[in-house]
Amino acid sequence: MAITSDILRPVGMLEKLYTARQVLSIYNSVIVTASYTIQSNLDDSSLRCMLCSAITRLIHRHPSLCCYFDGEKTPEPKFRRLKTILIKDVLQIRNLGRPADLGPQLQEIHDLQWPVDAKPLWRLVVMRESPATDDISIGSRLHIAFVYHHVIGDGLSGSAFHRCLIQALGDVERRRPVSQEVPQAIAIPTSTTLIEPVEKLTSLPLSWLFLLGQVIKEYAPWWLVGAPSPLWAGKPAQTLDECPFRSRVQIVTLSPDRVQSLVEESKSHSVTLTCLLTAVIVSALANQFPTASRFVGNTPYTLRRITRTSMDEMVNQTSGFETDYSMDRLDNIRKASNAPEHIESLWDTARYFHTQMQIELAKCPNDNLIGLLPYVTDYIKYYQKKIGKPREVTFELSNLGAFEEGRGSLPKDWTLEAMSFSQGAQPVGPAFTANCVGVRGGALTIAITWQESVVQEDVIDGLARALTDLPRLLREKTG
């Protein structure tokens, strides 16, 4: 197909990780979903008109929604400006018919491939719980899922999108009557520009000691440096012929009062909720795999503080660090024979993780893993070499924090009940991911995502039980 759109800029070095995954079909999408209760009747036509008006505003606000990339099989792919965006390409409305578990819906959406031609790298999937009708009745729930390619945004970009959507929907509702004309296409301004990639906004210096450590880790023979303890990380990375590309999602929801108690308990032990949740996962795995000698956890974090990029922008500015949980630490967890000992081992693991996190954040952006990307000469081969080998990471825990509506206000009779955050199957990556997001003063949602058959379902069930039972466990101890 002839390329007629304008070049916006080259794809950045971090963003190339995701264009390469597109080529190999090993990562599809990120989804951030907002769930609302609506205390008024809303017919199908009015809902579509409200959403289309809001989408137009978001497209004009966020340049990342106005682009696609090409040349992904070359060393230098480019972002290009779309000339127009067709509403049918970015808006889909589904009728769930009744209250439903979002997990199966998200699984299906995650497994959808992106088009290979000049199309938007995002879509809005709206799911309404309205029995036997396309209209929304009083008290119905509406789930608005923002589905996007990781190349145009990190997890926090999903939160930024929803804040902007809330403001746009509120403004549309206050300008009633809402126009009943639904546009078929939205023109993209020729003045559209993308925010520069991370490497243009900050330096990422590497010390010789850090570089030497990475070289030794990657290339030194085991007989020289000693073989690391075997790592449990699910099934090895496999080709899509060997292992089906099917995303699995299991959602755990903690009520507002339980979230508040966990936050307060974490503060009293000088750690964060992220530290406590990480400790719960490590503890659950240690007891489910009593002979495992080592786990590795990956924790993403934002670089926006370093690049001075607003939380209201859609960008991909994420780094991460790995934490090693050795046999000694896992054995201490397993030795806990009663509830008080188990709880103390949780706090011990949480404090250990908190220390590792503080060390990482204190040195950022120095000796950052992202700073190694200029040494990757071929991103596609970088991932291809991982196929057939053991995974390098057991799990990832990614926490977007508590979502706040910001300056905007929702339409009258709309109430934001919950947020959720999920990622699709990862044939090359951690065995599973725990994706966390809450609502300020409200519930916390943890979406555990994995590739089917990489981790057994009873393992995920055990993790979900451990996370669900955590508030009760701590309450019994303090009680």
Site of tokens 């990482």: 360
Domain covering 7-198, topology: Chloramphenicol Acetyltransferase (3.30.559)
Residue 3: predicted pLDDT: 44
Alpha-carbon distance 375 to 384, whole Å?
16
- pLDDT band of residue 2 (cuts 50, 70, 90) is very low
Q: Quick one: angle between helices 273-288 and 339-363, nearest 10? A: 120
- pLDDT band of residue 399 (cuts 50, 70, 90) is very high
Instruction: Please give the CATH superfamily to which domain 203-400+426-478 belongs.
Output: Nonribosomal peptide synthetase, condensation domain (3.30.559.30)
Average pLDDT, the chain: 91
Query: Residue 82 is encoded by which pair of tokens?
Result: 């779309």
Rg (CA), the chain: 23
Give the DSSP per-residue string, 235-292: SPP--TTTS---EEEEEEEE-HHHHHHHHHHHHHTT--HHHHHHHHHHHHHHHHSTT-
Residue 115: predicted pLDDT: 87
Alpha-carbon distance 412 to 174, whole Å?
9
Residue 132: predicted pLDDT: 58
Stretch 3-32: mean pLDDT: 90
Q: What is the DSSP letter of 133?
A: S
Residue 1 has pLDDT above 50, yes or no: no
Residue 185 has pLDDT above 70, yes or no: yes
Residue 321: predicted pLDDT: 96
Q: Are 421 and 444 in contact (CB under 8 A)?
A: no
Q: What is the DSSP letter of 190?
A: T
Domain residues of the chain, as ranges? Answer: 7-198, 203-400+426-478
Higher per-residue pLDDT: 239 or 46:
46
Q: Nearest to residue 73, comparing CAs of 293, 375, 379, 319?
A: 379
Q: Nearest to residue 279, comparing CAs of 357, 331, 337, 351?
A: 351
Summarised one tens digit per residue, pLDDT across range 332-369 is: 999 987 888 999 999 999 999 999 999 999 999 999 99
Residue 259 has pLDDT above 70, yes or no: yes
Q: What values do phi and psi take at 197, rounded to 5?
A: -70, 170
Helix residue ranges, H only, 27-115? 44-61, 87-90, 102-110
Fold match between domain 7-198 and domain 203-400+426-478? yes
Alpha-carbon distance 280 to 275, whole Å?
9
Q: What is the DSSP letter of 73?
A: T
Summarised one tens digit per residue, pLDDT across range 92-102 is: 998 886 666 79
Q: Are 41 and 95 in contact (CB under 8 A)?
A: no
